[in-house]
A and B are shown apart, each in its own frame.
Chain A
Amino acid sequence: MRKKAFSVIGKPLRKVDAMAKCTGDTRYADDIELPRMLYAKLLRSPYPHARIRSIHTERAAQLEGVSAVITGKDLPEKFGIMPSTQDEEALAVEKVRYVGDPVAAVAASSEALAEQALTLIDVDYEILKPVLSIEEALASKEESERIHSWNRRANIQKAVSFEFGDVVVGFARADEIFEDTFFFQGNTHLPMEQYCAMAQYGPQDKLTLWSSTQTPHYLHRALSKVLGLPMSRIRVIATPVGGGFGGKSDPFSHEICVAKLAMITGRPVKITLTREESFYVHRGRHPVKMWVKTGVKKDGTLQAMHFRSFLDGGGYSSYGLATVYYTGALQTVTYKLPAYKFEGVRLFTNKPPCGPKRGHGTPQPRFALEVQLDKIAEKLGIDPIDLRLKQLVDPNSITVNGLRISTTGLRECIEKVAARADWKKKFHQLPYGRGIGFAASSYISGAGLPIYRNEMPHSGVQIRLDRGGGITVFCGSIDIGQGSDSILAYAVAEEFGIDPADIRVVTADTDLTPVDLGSYSSRVTVMTGNAAIQACGKLKEILLPVAGEALELPVDDLEMAEGQLRSRSYPKRAISFAECVEKAEGKFGTLGATGSYSPPKHPANFKGSGVGPTPSYSYTTSIVELSCDPETADIKLHKIWIAHDCGRAFNPLLVEGQVEGSVYMALGEVLMEEQVFRKSGLHKYPSILEYKSPTTLETPPIETILVETDDPEGPFGAKEAGQGPLLPVIPAVANALYDAIGVRIDEIPITPDKILRALEGRLKSVSVPWFDFPPPIKWQPGDGVGVQQKS
């Protein structure tokens, strides 16, 4: 890696909003109050699957203090995050599809009154047979079992099939073939802040919506569609998000309902969902059943893989179209795979809709892949790390499914994590009951394509230079805690050689800021960072000649550093940044510039090739050391080592924080958390106490190693850090457990009951259903499209 000298990038600076978050000054959505504000509540279905015969709201509407009551008839237009699967209604019109599906909304002068009014709404339901599992969804035959009517086959939302390279030849070349089945149970995001939104409809016929959302731009589109208002009349302000993890990435019923209620009443309307409601809103990790067949040579090199996934999608499409592709997209970006077949299907069931959670559709297959590799290594008598090291993907290569790899730090991540954990001395050598496990992974630094296909930039940044040397940076990105506001300040400060404290950041307001597509797919640092650098470049073209003229120096000799524009050769010949801005404004008028970013075009162009491409892939490796008591199956985690190729750490504190948080979230998923439902469709654990997630006591020491690869696609070389580090931890725990006590648990979460059954030889392997997948789309790599590199 080439060394670069930075003044801001790479420094462990405070986040721009750090102190405000420590003093209580940060205003989250529910902290906003407006005069004359009303409170809204949603009436939710108590049944998982039912037809609505009638809804009577008259009694509720007559209650004194109730300002408005609305039902599905008031908001019939369908919406959804993906343009091709818009199957949601703000309030159910004809049917409810999961317990918690909203059917009516009330605005009243207090929350208690709104709740009281809900009890006065009479809904007559015709109860239908609920479909509650992957198997039931696949077996749905009768019309009454059909959850949606728009899809061709009952309860099959989307089935996909691909073949890359020659899989038949690949398996024929293999010396050994391994077949395994896996199940990854669903789980939810559980951000500490509940969902909250507030709407105001002003006298100028303009709507303002404040919401705790990761995707203000897509919410803007959905509001316009459902409310029938042009986007130009709607302002969406994303308030600082109190935890998202993917759970606040859809446009939601409660956001649309408060907007409609504000339009009807002419008063501000706020809604804050309860914690229990938040469990039902969900959009979290899909339960996925997987079947994996892998052919290898005796030396462990992969020859072919055939992967099948079955996704339990819940009642609506949400992001599911993308999720099903993601369960098959990234198997190819860690190890060389010459032939690969993928078949996936997402089913509708009468449960809260699943969507994107940290890692979106890739932790499930990564679990399967990395555990199977562990099994392969054992059978072949090869150290599992050595097995991987001999077949890592090359930098500047294209995978069998057409994904372009720019840089990869996977080898360095493996070597570093193995050295720190003392792998060679521990693997297979710890006493019974104690074990160590390894896994590796990769993730995208932002989706290569926007959700709505168009030619517009994915991220826009506007910079205004103030008299006096201040800078205001405007960007649609929303800080969900990952530090995206700080990233903008750091990038601009680095480019101009000024202190980040002299920069104000204005973000996530559709009236004020250029569009950024949102805080999803780990896209923000790469995309807003590049857009900010481009905007800075335009302003430098104005400022540098002005400074050159003032200092009587050629522009080539000038640099921007320490708040000055100065000579590289005689640093004392300098003018301050503020003085230069004043001179430039005097000469050219008001100073500002915009920058845009769109990811590079990806090499493959088959149908479905839009999921998987990205400017760059991050790489992560993890080693877990744990003990398992064979009597109680209680697991104690001793330590997690994790190495992450982040391209370049904009701020090592923030990158480490993302890595540590990902490890934590992975540990919750692998050992504790489950989003599971009773036959009645009710959530089994709809509270923080019942839905067990790790506290300080269950979270072990985490040692983070940052690997920098200086990726040419990234701003200052950066890649993503927010999601990828979750991926290897889950299989590493499963592999460590096997090393400790010699049993394989191929189901997530790995709970004591499963371990005990496995120890007694009673744990059945995961059953995977049969499905007649469509014939595969075939694509051969290397059809004349070379590796594109940023010049």
Chain B
Amino acid sequence: MPKRKKSSKTDAAQKGWAKRLLRLKVNGEIKEVATETSKTLLEVLREDLNLTGTKHGCELGECGTCTVLINGDAVLSCLVLGVESEDAEIVTVEGLMRDSQPHPLQRAFADLGATQCGYCIPGILLTAKVLLDKNPHPTRDEVREALSGNLCRCTGYTKILEAVELAARGEEGQ
């Protein structure tokens, strides 16, 4: 069959969008990656940097699953472009451990059975970290409010709320 003349739209899809060298600071390390400028930070993290700990649930900013930290704030990585994230301090769930020691939130979530399928947990841990960094001893309602943008379909939230409070108290789990 004769080859069809390609449309300009097809060209764009084939060649991909314009690429750029991105310089990102992720979990304290400088990472350089040549990637499409159209990619969301979520895509850059997962596909270019192989940091697959960050999950996706809708890629529309509706579920909170892809939450990462940018300069200490919880941000939906599906709504931010990779190119917008240069010069920022990015923290993903992979950056929560320190010298192979889990963060108190990670320990509390594991100890209290706050993870079921676990898919929403990276986003919830990072959102909770922002809360505790800013408000080390939140009330139950403050925890609820802070996590209200992170959907979890498994747990009914009860053990998640308890785990955040346990981490805030700085106690070991059971």
**Does A127 lie at the interface of the complex (its beta carbon under 8 Å from any beta carbon of B)?**
no
Check A688 against B62 for contact (C-beta < 8 Å). Answer: yes
Task: Flag the segment in B18-26, B69-77, B81-89, B118-126 that touches A.
Answer: B118-126
From B52, B125, B143, give the contact of A22 (CB < 8 A).
Answer: B125
Residues of B within 8 A of A27 (CB): 52
Q: A18-B110, A21-B121 are in contact. Are A192 and B55 (CB under 8 A)?
A: yes
**Does A63 lie at the interface of the complex (its beta carbon under 8 Å from any beta carbon of B)?**
yes
Number of chain B interface residues as a range: 35 or more
Q: A274-B59, A660-B156, A688-B151 are in contact. Are A23 and B4 (CB under 8 A)?
A: no
Check B156 against A482 for contact (C-beta < 8 Å). Answer: no
**Does A696 lie at the interface of the complex (its beta carbon under 8 Å from any beta carbon of B)?**
yes
Check A242 against B118 for contact (C-beta < 8 Å). Answer: yes
Q: Give B2's nearest chain A residue, CB to CB.
A: A62
Q: A14-B111, A22-B110, A689-B60 are in contact. Are A116 and B13 (CB under 8 A)?
A: yes
Complex Cα distance, B52 from A715, in Å, reads 37
Check B116 against A482 for contact (C-beta < 8 Å). Answer: yes
Q: Give B146's nearest chain A residue, CB to CB.
A: A696
Residues of B within 8 A of A697 (CB): 144-145, 148
Complex Cα distance, B111 from A657, in Å, reads 13
Q: A113-B13, A240-B118 are in contact. Are A192 and B109 (CB under 8 A)?
A: no
Q: Give A662's nearest chain B residue, CB to CB.
A: B156
Check A242 against B55 for contact (C-beta < 8 Å). Answer: yes
Q: A14-B111, A18-B115, A24-B54 are in contact. Are A64 and B6 (CB under 8 A)?
A: yes
**Does A33 lie at the interface of the complex (its beta carbon under 8 Å from any beta carbon of B)?**
yes
Complex Cα distance, B157 from A664, in Å, reads 8
Check A242 against B119 for contact (C-beta < 8 Å). Answer: yes
Q: Tell me, rounded to whole Å, the shortest Cβ–Cβ distance linking A722 to chain B.
A: 10
**Does B154 lie at the interface of the complex (its beta carbon under 8 Å from any beta carbon of A)?**
yes
Q: Give B120's nearest chain A residue, CB to CB.
A: A192
Residues of A within 8 A of B58 (CB): 275, 687-688
Q: Tell me, rounded to whole Å, the shortest Cβ–Cβ distance linking A193 to chain B.
A: 5
Q: A64-B6, A193-B55 are in contact. Are A661 and B156 (CB under 8 A)?
A: yes
Residues of B within 8 A of A19 (CB): 102, 106, 110
From A26, A110, A653, A662, give the contact of B118 (CB < 8 A).
Answer: A26
Q: A18-B110, A687-B60 are in contact. Are A113 and B14 (CB under 8 A)?
A: yes
Q: Tell me, rounded to whole Å, the shortest Cβ–Cβ distance linking A285 to chain B.
A: 14
With most chain B CB atoms within 10 A of its CB, the pick from A21, A110, A190 is: A21
Check A24 against B94 for contact (C-beta < 8 Å). Answer: yes
Q: Tell me, rounded to whole Å, the shortest Cβ–Cβ distance linking B17 to chain A.
A: 9
Report A682-705 CB contacts with B as 1/0, cut-off 8 Å: 000001110001011101011000
Q: Tell me, rounded to whole Å, the shortest Cβ–Cβ distance linking A490 to chain B.
A: 13
Q: Tell me, rounded to whole Å, the shortest Cβ–Cβ distance linking A109 to chain B.
A: 9
**Does A101 lie at the interface of the complex (its beta carbon under 8 Å from any beta carbon of B)?**
no
**Does A654 lie at the interface of the complex (its beta carbon under 8 Å from any beta carbon of B)?**
yes
Q: A12-B174, A657-B159, A696-B144 are in contact. Are A192 and B149 (CB under 8 A)?
A: no
Residues of A within 8 A of B14 (CB): 63-65, 113
Residues of B within 8 A of A563 (CB): none
Q: Give B50's nearest chain A residue, CB to CB.
A: A33
From A110, A191, A656, give the contact of B117 (CB < 8 A).
Answer: A191
Check B115 against A21 for contact (C-beta < 8 Å). Answer: yes
Q: Tell me, rounded to whole Å, the shortest Cβ–Cβ distance linking A562 to chain B.
A: 20
Report A477-499 CB contacts with B as 1/0, cut-off 8 Å: 00011110000000000000000
Q: Give A695's nearest chain B residue, CB to CB.
A: B148
**Does A677 lie at the interface of the complex (its beta carbon under 8 Å from any beta carbon of B)?**
no
Check A702 against B10 for contact (C-beta < 8 Å). Answer: no
Check A192 against B16 for contact (C-beta < 8 Å). Answer: no
Residues of A within 8 A of B147 (CB): 695-696
Residues of B within 8 A of A22 (CB): 93, 96, 102, 105-106, 109-110, 115, 118, 121, 125
Q: Give A120's nearest chain B residue, CB to CB.
A: B10
Q: Give A666's nearest chain B residue, CB to CB.
A: B156
Complex Cα distance, B1 from A689, in Å, reads 46
Check A663 against B60 for contact (C-beta < 8 Å). Answer: no
From A25, A33, A240, give the contact of B53 (CB < 8 A).
Answer: A25
Residues of A within 8 A of B170 (CB): none
Q: A24-B52, A192-B65, A689-B60 are in contact. Are A240 and B157 (CB under 8 A)?
A: no
With most chain B CB atoms within 10 A of its CB, the pick from A31, A664, A696 is: A696
Query: Which residues of chain A in 575-608 are interfacial with respect to chain B, using CB atoms and an 8 Å cutoff?
Result: none
Check B9 against A116 for contact (C-beta < 8 Å). Answer: yes
Check B115 against A702 for contact (C-beta < 8 Å). Answer: no
**Does B135 lie at the interface of the complex (its beta carbon under 8 Å from any beta carbon of A)?**
no
Residues of B within 8 A of A687 (CB): 58, 60, 62
With most chain B CB atoms within 10 A of its CB, the pick from A22, A23, A27, A653 is: A22
Complex Cα distance, B121 from A45, in Å, reads 35
From A24, A33, A64, A243, give the contact of B122 (CB < 8 A).
Answer: A24
Q: Give A479's nearest chain B residue, CB to CB.
A: B117
Complex Cα distance, B159 from A483, in Å, reads 15
Complex Cα distance, B157 from A701, in Å, reads 9
Report A238-265 CB contacts with B as 1/0, cut-off 8 Å: 0011111100000000000000000000
Complex Cα distance, B155 from A696, in Å, reads 11
**Does B57 lie at the interface of the complex (its beta carbon under 8 Å from any beta carbon of A)?**
yes
Q: Give A654's nearest chain B residue, CB to CB.
A: B113
From A14, A62, A189, give the contact of B110 (CB < 8 A).
Answer: A14
Check B154 against A661 for contact (C-beta < 8 Å). Answer: yes
Check A21 against B60 for contact (C-beta < 8 Å). Answer: no
Complex Cα distance, B31 from A111, in Å, reads 24
**Does A194 lie at the interface of the complex (its beta carbon under 8 Å from any beta carbon of B)?**
yes
Q: Give A28's nearest chain B residue, CB to CB.
A: B119
Residues of B within 8 A of A664 (CB): 153, 155-157
Q: Give B143's nearest chain A residue, CB to CB.
A: A696
Q: A15-B113, A25-B53 are in contact. Are A481 and B118 (CB under 8 A)?
A: yes
**7 A-B residue contacts at CB 8 Å?**
A21-B117, A26-B118, A58-B1, A189-B153, A192-B65, A661-B155, A699-B156
Query: Other CB < 8 Å A-B pairs besides A18-B110, A192-B63, A192-B153, 15 of them?
Result: A18-B109, A23-B96, A24-B51, A24-B54, A24-B92, A26-B118, A28-B119, A59-B4, A64-B14, A113-B13, A240-B118, A242-B119, A657-B159, A663-B156, A696-B145
